[in-house]
Structure 1
Amino acid sequence: MNLIFKSALAGCVALIGLGPVSSYAQDGACTCATAYRGGANPIGSISGAKGDVMVSQSAGYGPAKPGSGLDFGSRVVVGAKGMASVNVGGCSLDVPANSSLDISRVENKICLNIVGSEQTAATDSSGTNKDLTPLLIFGGMAGAAGILAATQDDNNGVSR
C-alpha cells in the first residue's frame, strides 16, 4: 500500500482520537450570582438549618448550624427532611429538601447553584448508567488498530 496513503490514514485516525470531546463539567446558569469584592473570608454563612443539613468542611462534611461559614467550593447538602437558608454576598437563598447548593467563583462573581435531586442521579429506568464513553473510546481504538493492521504492507520490496 502507498506510504502516503498510510500516513494520511494514520493522521486521520490520530486526529479523530485527539479531537474535541464533550465535557462533563457544565457551565450551567447560577441560581443567584453576586459580585465578589475579594478579601472577605468566609464569603457567606448559613442563616438557618432545619432537619438533615450538612455542609462541607476541611475534614469532610459536618452538621450545618446557623452561623456556619461558607467559602468558594463549599457545598450545602439538604436531606429529605431538611431545609437550609444561606446568605452569600447579595444572595439570600432557601435550599429545599433533597437538593444541594454549590458555591463557586466565575470570573469576578460568586455563583450559587442549587442542584435538585432530579439532577443529581442520571440513570435510566433499569437503574443502569447510560454513559457509553469508555465503550466508544475502546471501540474507536480497536477499529483504528484493525484498519492499520489491514493496511499493513508486509511485502518489503527493498529486501528482495
Structure 2
Amino acid sequence: MNLVLKSALAGVVVLAGFAPVSSFAQDGSCTCATAYNGVNPIGSIGSVNGDVMISQAAGYGPAQAGGALDFGSRVVVGGKGSASVNVGSCNLSVPANSTLDISRVENKICLNVLGSEKTAQTDNSNNENKTPLIIFGGMAAGALVLGLTQDDDHGRPVSD
C-alpha cells in the first residue's frame, strides 16, 4: 500500500472521530417538526396532569402549565401523568411513561416523543457530554490504522 493511500485512509478515520454527533442523527426521527423563527422560548407546556417533570439548563423540576420550552428541554411523564406541549405548529400530547425531547435539526425544531420502551434505552439523565470520548476514539482508530499499515522495511537486505 503506498504512503498516499495509507495517509488518506488514516485521515478519513480520524475525521470521522471529529464529526459532530448531530450529523449522525436522522431528520425522520422527529414526531413533529416545525420551522424555527428565531424566537426564544420556542414554546410552552399546555397542560400537566399527575407526575410530570421538565429538564432544562438548571436541571429537573416539576412541570407547570405555561412553562417555557427551549432547545434541549425534556419533558418526562411518569406512570400516572400526561402533558401537552405547544411549539410552533406542533401541538403534542405526551402520554404516561414517555419522554419528549426538543432539539434543533438544521433550521427546524424537532419534537420527539419516546415511549417507555425507548426511553429506557436512550435516557441520558446524567447529561454526560460524550464529545471527548468520540474525539479520543477517532484519534485512537487513526493511530491504529497508521500502526497497522506502517511499512518499516524489516527483513529487507541493506544495499551498498
Aligned letter for 2:52?
A: V
Relative to its length, the structure with more helix (as a share) is 2
In the other structure, the counterpart of 2:37 is 37
In the other structure, the counterpart of 1:68 is 67
Aligned CA distance change for structure 1 residues 138 and 120 (closer, same or farther; 3 Å): farther
Does 1:7 pair with 2:3? Answer: yes
- Structure 1 position 92, deviation (Å): 1.3
**How many residue pairs align between the two structures?**
143
TM-score by length of 1: 0.65
Aligned letter for 2:158?
A: G
In the other structure, the counterpart of 1:84 is 83
Partner Cα distance (2:112, 2:85) in 1: 12
- Structure 1 position 103, deviation (Å): 1.6
In the other structure, the counterpart of 1:130 is none
In the other structure, the counterpart of 2:127 is none
Partner Cα distance (1:109, 1:6) in 2: 45
TM-score by length of 2: 0.65
- Structure 1 position 104, deviation (Å): 2.2
The unaligned stretches of length 5 or more in structure 2 are: 123-133
Partner Cα distance (2:158, 2:45) in 1: 77
The unaligned stretches of length 5 or more in structure 1 are: 124-132
Partner Cα distance (2:85, 2:105) in 1: 19
- Structure 1 position 69, deviation (Å): 0.9
- Over the aligned positions, Cα root-mean-square deviation in angstroms equals 3.7
